[in-house]
Each structure stands twice: as C-alpha cells, then as structure tokens.
A and B are shown apart, each in its own frame.
Chain A
C-alpha cells in the first residue's frame, strides 16, 4: 500500500534541485543544439501546424483534382466531372477536351458556369500529386518530398501557397463552391509554421 505521508524537508529540497536541473537541461544555451525535449516540442508544434494545413489540402477545392486516377471530380459533393473529362498526357486534358476550352482565367459570370483561374489544370501524370485517399501523415510526406511535389524545396512551398494564382483561386471559387476551412492568410501562416518548426509529419 502506498503511503500518503508528506515528504520530509530534505527530500523536498532534493526533488526541487532535480527538477531545476532537468528543466535547465531541456533548454539550449547560446549556439548549442536544441535538446531532445525542445526538439520534441518543436516537432509537436510542427505536426499541429500541418493538421491545419491538411484541413485545406483535403478540402474539395484541392482534392477534386489532386486525384490518383485520371478523371477529376467537381463540386462540393466531389462527383465525377461531367463530360468524361480526363487528365491527358500533360494534365491539361485530352485533344478537343482541354481544361481551358471551358475553364477561363476567371470564374464564369454565369450561374453554374465553369470556375476559372490562370493555368487551370490537373497535375501531369508524371507527377500526380495525388492526395485523395491518403492519410494526413502520407499527404504530409508527399507534400514535402521534392520527388513527389513538383521539385519544390520547403521555402518554395511557402512561395507557392502564398503567390500561385491557382492556389489563391480556392478562396474565390465562385458561387455554390465552399472555400477551405482556413483563410488564405492563416493557411500560409500554418504552412510557414509547419516548415519553420521542422516540417514534421505525424508518425515521424
């Protein structure tokens, strides 16, 4: 049976010293390497930031075209794209069915017309960037892997999500289309935090 006695003053002092030493040892000083405890905190912060990033990447505005197959989806219900649209050899559709035959550089001004943004396309078959069906951890690994993300470094990923007009379209998708759950500013901030805290992924 465990005793519920109060510790003696001597034991209290020893425990206090041990706690201070442990606490100090968990922080780095000057130009020293971060301790494993600080790294763990940073890793957790990074994974937490990516959870926010993933909430955007798994929204219909992204997942409708970041697909493993060749037939894109459409709408908030993520139904197969009408007209038998296919990815094509360059991600921009097939002959006579190019994406930009209908999708212009801006949203259609007619209700139920096609949305539009500069460079409307799917990823090419050689670099599918297929997140649909992946776990958050696998999306995370795919996003930061230059061999699977279009050759982008981590800093280039920040520029991409901040400046690319096609990415920005997700927050101006036209009527009847939901926007991602974060604002664009918060999304860029989350991507930046994820990268600056080590670009950690769940399960790493």
Chain B
C-alpha cells in the first residue's frame, strides 16, 4: 500500500491508509488524535475543523491525499501546555458547556486571529459562522476571541 506522510503538529507521520480516507479518520483512528471531533460528517457543523496549511479545513471532507506533505495542526498541537492565547482566553471566559464543538471553535478562532489581529464583532460572526455550537455558547466565544486578541497583543504569544 502506498504510504502518505503528513506533518501533524510539527511531526512527520506516515500512514498506509487509503489516500481517499477522510483526514478526520486518519487523525483519530490511525494517529490516535481524538481531540478532533466527528459532528455531522458532511461539512456543515465545523466540529472536525483542523488547520491545514493555515486554513480552517473540515477534516471530514478533506481527504488524506489533500493533506499529503502538508502541515496539519489539531487541538493537541496548538500548544504543549495550554499556553496559547486562544486557549487562555477560552479558560478565562469559561466558554465551553458540553465542549464537543470547542476544538473546532478554537482552531477557527486561531485562523481568524492569524489574519486579523483586531477582529470586530462582525468579523468574528463572519469567521465563526461555519462552526455550530448546540449549547449556544456564541456570546462567550465572541468575548473569548476578543480576549485572545488582547492577550496576543500583550505579547504572550502570537496566535
């Protein structure tokens, strides 16, 4: 079987999984990174969001072939110790309720802040519209994104 290399959280990972396998299942079942969640399976909810070469890609739709040779960041790789400003902000604002969608929410927020260090409420609403939260934590998510921007400015770490 043909092998595929993916750079997951900075580490080269090799798999012989079928290249048409959704990246989500390679991350969870092959690499054991279960922080990325299966939600709808049809790219509608955002729970499976990972960062693929800088974009907030839905791993239930992207195949292993698309990720070949590319950089993938999952929630496990955002920081080793939870010190990323977005993670800090999420804790400060106590964002999660059930938590199921939150890894996708956090990674989408990281991608937003990487391109817009001072997002407005409208910017946040627009960027986060593809990540659904059935607990309705949207207000806390918005506050946490603003807080993460402040923390990043304070110099803790660039998102």
Contacts and interface: CB of A to CB of B under 8 A. Distances in A.
Interface of A: 82-86, 94-98, 100-105, 108, 110-114, 116
28 contacts: A83-B44, A84-B125, A84-B126, A95-B111, A96-B56, A96-B108, A96-B109, A96-B111, A96-B112, A96-B127, A96-B128, A97-B56, A98-B55, A98-B56, A100-B57, A101-B56, A102-B58, A102-B130, A103-B61, A104-B63, A105-B66, A108-B43, A108-B61, A112-B42, A113-B42, A113-B43, A113-B61, A114-B43
Contacts of B41: 110, 113
B125 A101 contact: no
Given A104-B63, A104-B66, 15 more contacts: A84-B129, A85-B129, A86-B126, A95-B112, A95-B114, A98-B56, A102-B43, A102-B61, A108-B43, A108-B61, A110-B42, A112-B42, A113-B41, A113-B42, A116-B61
B67 to A, nearest CB: 11
A82 B126 contact: no
Nearest to A105: B66
Nearest to A102: B43
Contacts of A83: 44, 129-130
A94 B127 contact: yes
Contacts of A114: 42-43, 61
Interface SS, B side: mixed
Interface in B106-132: 108-109, 111-112, 114-116, 125-130
A97 B115 contact: no
A95 B114 CA distance: 9
A89 to B, nearest CB: 10
B151 to A, nearest CB: 18
A114 B46 CA distance: 13
B17 interface: no
Contacts of A111: 42
B62 interface: yes
Interface string B53-72: 00111100111001000000
A187 B56 CA distance: 36
A100 B129 contact: no
Nearest to A108: B61
Contacts of B129: 83-85, 97
Contacts of A94: 126-127
A111 B125 CA distance: 28
A94 B129 CA distance: 11
Nearest to A114: B43
A120 to B, nearest CB: 11
Given A82-B44, A102-B58, A114-B42, A97 B63 contact: no
